[in-house]
Amino acid sequence: MRIFDPHIHMTSRTTDDYERMAAAGVRAVVEPAFWQGQPRTSVDTFVDYFDSLIGWEPFRAGQFGVRHHATVALNPKEANDPRCRPVLDLLPRYLDKDGVVAVGEIGYDSMTPAEDAAFAGQLALAVAHDLPALVHTPHRDKARGVERTLAVVAESGIDPGRVLVDHLNEVTVRLVRDTGCWLGFSIYPETKMSPPRMVELLRTYGTERILVNSAADWGRSDPLLTRATGEAMLLAGFTEDDVDRVLWRNPVEFYGQSGRLDLADLDGLRG
């Protein structure tokens, strides 16, 4: 089973995780820039964070045979902090980098006017840099958050086929599935979404334009839940080709739209 985790925060994970992921078949990851669990207080700390996402973390991943790409953005939570907002002016510089395959995570946290401005502005950056966009959906007031998200996406003029709407569930998937956007599901150890529920969603909606990720970060999360979902799919009667489509070909197709995905010389790709 070859696995591409399209959303995982490796900066927060240990080398044990990299070893276990590689052994489980994870060959490639995308690490979106996001909130790090505690407030940042200056633009310089974002520079160091982005620097790590395009330098140190790909090097670390490479030691385990895992190919690492990133998405870069000002996340919705910190879009509300005037100390962080000037990072928007620095983003164009990072959006030119080889390892940056999308603008993200953008979207809503508390649906404030500051979040509106940052979201719309960064969708425009995605269009200007010819990059896809990774859109986080809020954990609170989720259904209305998704509706508002889709309205902003539609207004931006970005091709919906270049937008991944993430952290969906049984309720919000219905809002997104006919918009042409890609559907992202984050599988967590508890709550949010589990492998059996994910299998049910795949039964209902098929495997097209669906991405499954672990969204593992500094909180309680599990980077092997992509693999667990693949195994649950097989047990439920999906074919190996279905699993390969969801866990490999779909993320490759989505992020491949950047023209910057580099999967050359990776071992085990025929897995």
Partner 1 sequence: MTPHRLRAALRGVPDPRWLDAALRRVATDPAAIARLFATAARKCGRGPLPDPPGWTVDEAARALLLTALPAGHAAAAESLYRYGDAAEKRAVLRALPLLPIGAECVPLLHDAIRTDDTRLVAAALGRYARHLEQPAWRQAVLKCVFTGVPLAVVDDLAGRADGELAAMLAGLAAERHAAGRSMPADAADLLDRLGAGSPSTTIPEA
Given the rule CB under 5 A, which residues bind Zn ion? 34, 215
Q: What residues numbered 138-157 form the site for partner 1, per CB under 8 A?
A: none
Which one among 59, 204, 219, 220 touches partner 1, defined by CB under 8 A? 59
**Region near partner 1 per CB under 8 A, out of 15-23, 48-56, 165-173, 202-210:** 48-56
- Tell me how far, at minimum, the Cβ of 56 lies from partner 1, in Å: 6
By CB under 8 A, tell whether 94 contacts partner 1.
yes
Which one among 20, 85, 97, 144 touches partner 1, defined by CB under 8 A? 97
By CB under 8 A, tell whether 249 contacts partner 1.
no
150 binds, among partner 1, Zn ion, none (CB under 5 to 8 A by kind): none
By CB under 8 A, tell whether 259 contacts partner 1.
yes
Q: Which is nearer to Zn ion, 11 or 250 (CB)?
A: 11
By CB under 8 A, tell whether 98 contacts partner 1.
yes
- Tell me how far, at minimum, the Cβ of 107 lies from partner 1, in Å: 25
Which one among 19, 86, 96, 130 touches partner 1, defined by CB under 8 A? 96
3-state secondary structure the chain: CCEEECCCCHHHCCHHHHHHHHHHCEEEEEEECCCCCCCCCCHHHHHHHHHHHHHHHHHHHHCCCCEEEEEECCCCCHHHCCCCCCHHHHHHHHHCCCCEEEEEEEECCCCCHHHHHHHHHHHHHHHHCCCCEEEECCCCCHHHHHHHHHHHHHHHCCCHHHEEECCCCCCCHHHHCCCCCEEEEECCCCCCCCHHHHHHHHHHHCCCCEEEECCCCCCCCCCCHHHHHHHHHHHCCCCHHHHHHHHHHHHHHHHHCCCCCCCCCCCCCCC
Q: Which is nearer to partner 1, 51 or 240 (CB)?
A: 51
- Tell me how far, at minimum, the Cβ of 184 lies from Zn ion, in Å: 10
